[in-house]
Structure 1
Amino acid sequence: MNSFLSTSLQQSVADLYLNRNTCDDEVNILFEINADPKLPGGVLPFANVSRFSQFPEEEEILFMAGSIFHITDVISGNPFSTVKMELCSKEENDLKPLFETLRIEYGGEQVGKDKEASLNSFGIVLFNMERFEIADRFFRRIYYESSNDDPNRVRYAMNIGNVA
């Protein structure tokens, strides 16, 4: 995700995307998001931008990159499945224990005394899970977003080379 996740309050808008022709190996999924604007504790901003849009009838909601969602339900269906999610705060985020389990199981690096997940360590976990294409994207992203004087930049380049 670059900067924002674009969504719509109108399912008819989502249906337009769901009804596009897909390749045989692609699956259409509708994401239903419940987002409480009064949720306390470190929720990244989201907003209804309909009044600024060229297509206000779409009722577009933008979520800031880094927003965290909990999956509350998955409903398999035909022609598409539905994933129900809730926006959650940083305090409700239970991804750190999950990442730590993956890091131990698949050999990612430990980052700092807080064992905070970094993109690089997540890329290493993906690499060790043999998810090379996704790992490559993570490694390239952190390489290109890092400054030239970042002491870890060589490590990022090396990881790109390891995936190739």
Structure 2
Amino acid sequence: MNSFLSTTKTRNLALFYLGDQEVPYRNMKRVLFEITADPKFAGEKPFADITTRSCFLNEEDEVLIMFGSIFRIINVDRETSGISIVKIELCTNDNKDSTTILKHLKDEYGGGYGETDLICVGQVVRRMGCSSTAEKYFHRCLSSLGHEDVHLSTCYYNLAVVANDKGEYQSSLELHLKALNIRMRILQPNDPDLAESYNGLGN
């Protein structure tokens, strides 16, 4: 989850927000999430009852869940009203399922290099469709690296991809060339990162 999650302990209130009519788009469905969160694990990915601090006073019976939380799907049911009920459970850091997910993300995007973990985060955020947020992560990483750091080229490459997403094709080309020039200086001719850069220039 990439943002804070506002929830309510009152099922009828959640159903009220969902409304009693089908959504107007065929590819969209009404979904109610039933979340199980054990208070003894709240220190790992914090969540708290903020009813007394809510803008709506005691009306929402609100529980706020921390961003970065990972959930495991327990079951999915469809009620006669057309609402899908998704039962999920908040995972702990040592939960086998969440550990597997995190390992998969590291294997796919890299990570484990201190500040360059920001590259991994940026790539994940971009995949979620948040190019502007991803761009901020890449720029932050860029400012922390040396001029000949191989990860500097990775930052430029990812900034080029973001620029292409935004339709800024000239900027994308310039950033791809920066990444390629660094990689040509410090990598072997058969390094796959060079192929990645050439492919980026071609696209």
Preserved CA contact (<8 Å) 1:43 1:88: no
Q: With CA pairs under 8 Å and 6+ residues apart, which has the higher RCO, 1 or 2?
A: 1
**Is 2:94 aligned against 1:91?**
yes
Which position in structure 1 is the counterpart of 2:143?
A: 149
- Structure 2: 5+ residue stretches without partners: 146-151, 168-203
Shift of 1:94: 2.5
Shift of 1:101: 5.4
Which position in structure 2 is the counterpart of 1:38?
A: 40
- Paired residue type of 2:30: N
CA distance in 1, matches of 2:105, 2:69: 21
Preserved CA contact (<8 Å) 2:71 2:91: yes
Change (3 A) 1:79 1:141: same
Within a 5 Å distance, the mapping from 1:1-164 to structure 2 comes to 3-19=3-19, 22-24=23-25, 25-39=27-41, 43-53=44-54, 54-77=56-79, 78-92=81-95, 94-98=97-101, 108-112=108-112, 118-122=120-124, 126=127, 134=128, 136-137=129-130, 139-145=131-137, 146-147=139-140, 149-151=143-145, 153-163=155-165, 164=167
> Equivalent pairs: percent with the same residue?
30
Deviations 1:39-76 (A, max 9, x none): 38x62111101112223132100001111211111112
Aligned to 1:38, the other structure's residue is in SS state: helix
The structure whose Rg is larger is: 2
Higher strand share: 1
Paired positions, count? 148
Deviations 1:107-155 (A, max 9, x none): x443338xx893344368x5xxxxxxx3x42x43221244261445433
Shift of 1:88: 1.5
Change (3 A) 1:10 1:17: same
Which position in structure 2 is the counterpart of 1:131?
A: none
Preserved CA contact (<8 Å) 1:71 1:85: yes
TM-score normalised by structure 1 residue count = 0.71
Q: CA RMSD in A?
A: 3.2
Change (3 A) 1:73 1:2: closer
CA distance in 2, matches of 1:20, 1:143: 39
CA distance in 2, matches of 1:95, 1:121: 19
Change (3 A) 1:123 1:159: farther
CA distance in 1, matches of 2:96, 2:159: 30
Greater alpha carbon shift after TM alignment, 6-15 vs 95-104: 95-104
Preserved CA contact (<8 Å) 2:92 2:98: no
- Structure 1: 5+ residue stretches without partners: 127-133
Change (3 A) 1:103 1:61: closer
CA distance in 2, matches of 1:39, 1:140: 33
CA distance in 2, matches of 1:31, 1:12: 13
